[in-house]
Every structure is written in structure tokens, then in C-alpha cells.
């Protein structure tokens, strides 16, 4: 690459890089360019080096190399002049010490010479009266590029809302600005603020209509995933009874109903016999004269004749007593 060199002497490693720019010359030397040497010592190169401002060793190394290049006439400073007293080329050599294994002076000097030998300054020319005219547009630039920012004389930032109200103004150095220029910039900012606010709202609506259905579907799908579902193997298998089993159950039920009906009929017949016996005893007492008997069981007490008490209870219950 032009203007770049890398030198390694033993364990000493140095990198050199050359750059240039147009500047105004010194008053005592209006037709000569300038040369500057800058050295940077990395703490990774040697534990004794410190980061930040160059130390005494770095300053001394730069002076030694600068004196050697000037005294040896390695660079013709007069060839760097473009317009005497106005524009000259300023050459800068940066030397980076990557590793210090000793003899830094020789390694840095070789790196500077190698970088200068590959450097080519840009060509430039000045037009006379017959040169093409350049159309200069209004100096106010709303959205400057990187190159426009490099040559602009000043910058002013205005904060304006959609209603055109000025909220803040910031002037970041540079040349002075007249009142008329400030008002012109505020009018431009007011128009741009309304336009930009409309674009932001439209972008928000577009995003909302484009992605809202997807968000809702995602929420629905997520809710469905949270519902617990049992697998088919965990379900209870309920089988329908066969005709044979139904017939067996019906037969068993009919037999139990028949037995219960027989018990009820037997209980009813016992109750009828008891009533018949009671009525016969009453007739005998009326015919033979009623005699009162106090103490001891009566002649008509069914319990003394061995009547079943359970049957009697069933009989009384059937008549609602």
C-alpha cells in the first residue's frame, strides 16, 4: 500500500505510515512544505512504555529521525509548494513501535524511509481565468454528507414540533450566523418536522396493520398450548354390557322381587288370622258376660300365643298405623 511500511529487525518491530494535507506555509518559508515525525510507543511492546502522552524516549526518537531526514535532504520541501504563501503540502510520518527488542533508532529510521519511498502525493492544479465556473448553491444544507461536514463553516441544530413551535436551538461553533439565515433555517426545519412526523405515524400504522394479526395468532396458539390434553391411552375405556349379561341381571332382579312379594303375602295372612282370633274372643266375652281381669296377660293377647312380632309390625305399617 502507498505510504505504508513494516520493518522487523530481530525482535524489534516497527510500522510506518505517511499522510499529507494542504496547509498554509510558515511566513519565513512561504514556498516550502513541512515534515513532521510522530512516534507512538505501545505498552505491549515494552513494560517500560506508558500509554497516553508520548514519553521522553518517544520525543527523543522522533527528533533524531526528523533531523536525519532534513539534513540528508531525503525530502525536497520546495517541491511540496502548490501556491507560494497560500498552499503547501504538509507531510506527516507516524511510527508505531509494536515490539521493542533493542536498536529502535535504526528500525524506526528504516521504517520512515521505506514509507516515504512508497508515498505519492496527490496531484492538484489551479485554474486561471478560462477555468470552468462553479455554481454555488445556497449554503444551508439540511442533511450534510461526510464530505460536506468536513468543509462546512458551522452547524446549527433546531428542534421543532409538528405545530411549528421552536423548542430548542443549538449553535455548535463555526462562523457567525446572521438573523436572516437563522429564520430561514427555522422555516426549513418547520417543514421538515411536519414531513418527518407524518412519515413516522405512517410507518407505525403500517407496522401495526402488518404485524397485529401475527401477534394475535401467536397469542391464540400460545393459549392453546397451555391447555392440558389427555392422551388416548389415558382415557377410560367404558364397554357396553352384552345381551347375556343384561338377561342375567334381569332374572336376578325378578327373583328378588318374587321373594319379597312372598314375604309380604305371608305377613298379610298372619295379620288376617290375628284379627279373626280377636273377633272370636270378643264374641265369646259378650255372650258369657264381660269379666274384668286386672293383672297378668289378657286372654286375647297375641304375644302370649306365640304371634310373630315382626309380622305384626308389618301388618300395622301396611294399614298406616
Specify whether the CB–CB gap between 100 and 45 falls below 8 A.
yes
β-pair type (34-41, 87-99): parallel
To the question of domain 4-118 being in CATH 3.30.230.70, the answer is: yes
Sign of the four-CA dihedral 18, 24, 25, 31: positive
Extents of the domains making up the chain? 4-118, 140-223, 265-289+297-321
Answer yes or no: pTM beyond 0.85.
no
Tens place of pLDDT per residue across the chain (321 aa): 578 999 999 889 999 999 999 999 988 888 899 999 998 887 787 777 777 676 778 888 889 999 988 888 888 888 888 888 888 999 999 999 888 888 889 999 999 999 998 888 888 777 666 666 666 667 778 888 888 888 787 888 889 988 888 888 888 777 788 888 888 888 988 998 889 888 888 888 887 777 665 555 655 666 666 655 555 544 444 455 555 666 666 676 666 666 555 555 555 555 555 555 545 555 555 555 444 444 444 454 444 444 455 665 666 566 555
Task: Take residue 195 and report the three cell numbers written for it.
Answer: 414531513
Strand partners, 81: 88
Nearest to 16 by CA among 98, 102, 122, 101: 98
- Sign, CA dihedral 81-83-85-88, equals negative
CA atoms of 14 and 40, how far apart (whole Å): 10
In 251-303 the beta strands, taken as DSSP E runs, fall at: none
Give the largest Cα separation in the chain, rounded: 178
Amino acid at each position: 500500500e502507498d505510504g505504508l511500511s513494516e520493518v522487523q529487525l530481530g525482535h524489534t518491530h516497527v510500522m510506518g505510515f505517511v499522510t499529507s494535507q494542504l496547509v498554509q506555509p510558515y511566513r519565513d518559508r512561504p514556498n516550502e512544505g513541512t515534515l513532521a515525525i510522530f512516534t507512538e510507543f505501545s505498552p505491549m511492546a515494552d513494560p517500560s512504555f506508558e500509554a497516553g502522552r508520548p514519553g521522553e524516549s518517544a520525543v527523543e526518537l522522533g527528533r533524531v529521525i526528523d533531523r536525519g531526514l532534513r539534513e540528508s535532504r531525503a525530502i525536497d520541501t520546495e517541491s511540496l509548494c502548490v501556491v507560494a504563501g497560500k498552499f503547501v503540502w504538509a507531510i506527516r510520518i507516524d511510527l508505531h513501535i509494536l515490539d521493542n527488542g533493542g536498536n529502535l533508532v535504526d528500525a524506526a529510521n528504516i521504517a520512515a524511509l521505506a514509507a516515504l519511498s512508497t508515498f505519492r502525493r496527490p496531484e492538484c492544479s489551479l485554474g486561471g481565468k478560462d477555468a470552468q465556473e462553479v455554481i454555488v448553491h445556497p449554503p444551508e444544507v439540511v442533511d450534510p454528507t461526510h464530505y460536506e461536514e468536513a468543509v462546512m463553516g458551522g452547524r446549527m441544530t433546531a428542534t421543532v414540533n409538528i405545530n411549528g413551535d421552536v423548542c430548542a436551538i443549538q449553535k455548535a461553533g463555526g462562523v457567525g450566523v446572521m438573523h436572516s439565515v437563522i429564520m430561514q433555517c427555522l422555516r426549513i426545519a418547520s417543514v421538515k418536522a411536519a414531513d418527518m412526523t407524518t412519515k413516522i405515524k405512517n410507518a407505525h400504522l403500517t407496522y401495526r396493520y402488518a404485524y397485529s394479526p401475527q401477534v394475535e395468532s401467536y397469542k391464540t396458539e400460545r393459549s392453546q398450548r397451555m391447555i392440558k390434553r389427555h392422551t388416548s391411552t389415558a382415557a377410560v375405556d367404558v364397554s357396553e354390557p352384552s345381551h347375556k349379561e343384561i338377561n342375567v341381571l334381569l332374572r336376578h332382579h325378578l327373583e328378588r322381587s318374587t321373594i319379597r312379594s312372598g314375604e309380604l303375602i305371608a305377613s298379610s295372612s298372619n295379620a288376617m288370622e290375628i284379627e279373626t282370633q280377636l273377633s272370636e274372643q270378643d264374641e265369646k266375652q259378650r255372650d258369657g258376660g264381660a269379666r274384668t281381669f286386672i293383672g297378668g296377660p289378657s286372654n286375647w293377647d297375641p304375644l302370649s300365643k306365640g304371634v310373630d312380632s315382626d309380622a305384626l309390625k308389618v301388618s300395622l305399617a301396611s294399614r298406616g298405623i
